Amino acid sequence: MTSTGMNNMSRIIFYEERNFQGRSYECMSDCPDMSSYLSRCQSCRVERGCFIVYDRTNFMGNQYFLRRGEYADNMSMMGMTDCIRSCRMIPMHRGSYRMKIYERENFTGQMHELTDDCDSVMDRFRMSNCMSCNVMEGHWLLFEQPHYRGKMMYMKPGEYRSFMSMGASGMRFMSMKRITDSCY
């Protein structure tokens, strides 16, 4: 691969200790289990691209969105209760964004189509619940509270019939944000 091609690749470096100390592990793609590389991960540096990091292995548990920057102390900066256990690279998407959100599971109940960010499904659509969705274009973040706050879930193109079966039991998603070029 040419050096030009390497410059466009996403890259994150994880460190065992806070403030970028201890052993490190460099990652340029998805990593389902960091324990084979580091005993724990207390800080990280995103050199290029965007990533979702998880506090459990195999892309489970609480999710945190990271864009280019330094995260010297995962616990305080992201509000993590545990260290990073797995990560997923978010591919850059150029083009339009489209997602259908549904009030109930299995694409039932009230339905609305989004092509841009929505800071409150209650204010915009008078929808008190969002329990399933179909992402047709782009990559999105769904948040449990209005105005992009609270726990989040990353959605890539695909059908999501039940958020509860994905480990988000008891969570309602009340706002949605596109992951755009400006995140990189």
User: What are the boundaries of each domain within the chain?
Assistant: 3-90, 98-183
Residues 70, 51 contacting (CB under 8 angstroms): no
| Residue matched to tokens 């960010």 | 117
Confidence of residue 4 (pLDDT cuts 50, 70, 90): very low
Q: What is the CATH number of domain 3-90?
A: 2.60.20.10
The two three-digit tokens of residue 20, written as one number: 């970028």
Where is 7: in which H helix or E strand? helix 3-7
Residues 97, 116 contacting (CB under 8 angstroms): yes
Per-residue pLDDT tens for 75-102?
A: 666 666 678 899 999 998 989 999 999 9
Looking at CATH, the fold of the domain delimited by 98-183 is given as Gamma-B Crystallin; domain 1 (2.60.20)
Confidence of residue 40 (pLDDT cuts 50, 70, 90): confident
The two three-digit tokens of residue 104, written as one number: 């109930």
pLDDT of 144 > 60? The answer is: yes
Per-residue pLDDT tens for 120-137?
A: 999 999 999 899 999 999
User: Tell me, what's the pLDDT at 5?
Assistant: 40
CA 51, CA 143: separation in Å to the nearest integer? 16
- C-alpha to C-alpha distances, 47 to 9, 43, 97, 150, nearest whole angstrom: 10, 13, 25, 26
- Please tell me if the domain spanning 3-90 has the same topology as the one spanning 98-183: yes
User: Tell me, what's the pLDDT at 36?
Assistant: 87
66 Rama sector, left if φ>0, alpha if ψ -120 to 50, beta otherwise:
beta
Per-residue pLDDT tens for 56-76?
A: 999 988 899 999 999 998 766
